[in-house]
Amino acid sequence: MQTELLGVRLSGDEISIRASELGALHVAQGGSAFEEAVNRGNVWAVANQTTVITQAGLSITTPALTIAPRIGQGKVVKLWYAGCGSLVANAAALEIFLALGGYSATAVTETTAATVRNMKTGDIGPPPGVACLAVATLPAGVPVAISLLGSGVTGDVTVDNHMTECGRWYDGAVWVNAGYSLSIQTSTAGTLFCEFIIEVQDA
């Protein structure tokens, strides 16, 4: 039996593992899902090293972790993963949001830089043109919750109903452009460790 694949006749053992007997081409990821982006040096891990106490409700002050491409730097951030965890009992039950701040020509106030590592090289420091902040004040205008990361209740760490960690993979489905900000926030005050895994590209 012969099969024609892209104009080339193949027979028997010559048929590619990626072709069916009828000539259909099978396409599959050749490596891990984000290997190419990491190999290009475009991926960073951003995490709090100490806890941040959030405000009650969506707020421009003390979001738990913030990323914000700077205006005029020509960068866009693609979010792969956002997560958080807590080791203390919450004063009240809380919901944890991924929140998007609307466009503002006023820059985010960069109070304390987050700890950032390049996932290819291990180099210290944020990606060019992007603020990665453990403590920040956002421009005027309350950010909007766009996704839920998880929830926490008032149980202590030794009981099952306490939130230990939660998060979501976004696989690059959330893009943050210059003048916008992405932060982790809570419905009531909470004490969180937080993390982002991001890809940064030219806009």
What is the pLDDT, as a whole number, of residue 66? 96
Average pLDDT of the residues in 54-76? 93
- Any idea where the domains of the chain sit in the sequence? 1-30, 37-202
* DSSP labels, the chain: -EEEETTEEEEGGGS-TTB-TT-PBP---SS-TTHHHHHTT-EEEEE-SS-EEPPSSS-SB--SEEEEEPTTS-EEEEEEEEEEE--S--SS-EEEEEEEEPP-SSPPEEEEEPEEEETTT--BSPPTTEEEEEEEEPPSS--EEEEEEEEE-S--TTSTTS--EEEEEEEEEEEE-TT-EEEEEESS--EEEEEEEEEEEE-
Q: In this structure, which topology does domain 37-202 adopt according to CATH?
A: Jelly Rolls (2.60.120)
Cα–Cα distance, 77 to 16 (Å, whole number): 38
Average pLDDT, the chain: 85
Where is pLDDT greater, at 101 or 7? 101
Indicate the range of 45-59, 73-87, 154-168 predicted with least confidence: 154-168
What is the pLDDT, as a whole number, of residue 152? 81
* DSSP labels, 138-153: PPSS--EEEEEEEEE-
List, in sequence order, every residue forming a beta bridge with 152; answer none if it has no partner. 94
What is the pLDDT, as a whole number, of residue 84? 92
Q: Is the pLDDT confidence value at 30 over 70?
A: no
What is the pLDDT, as a whole number, of residue 92? 84
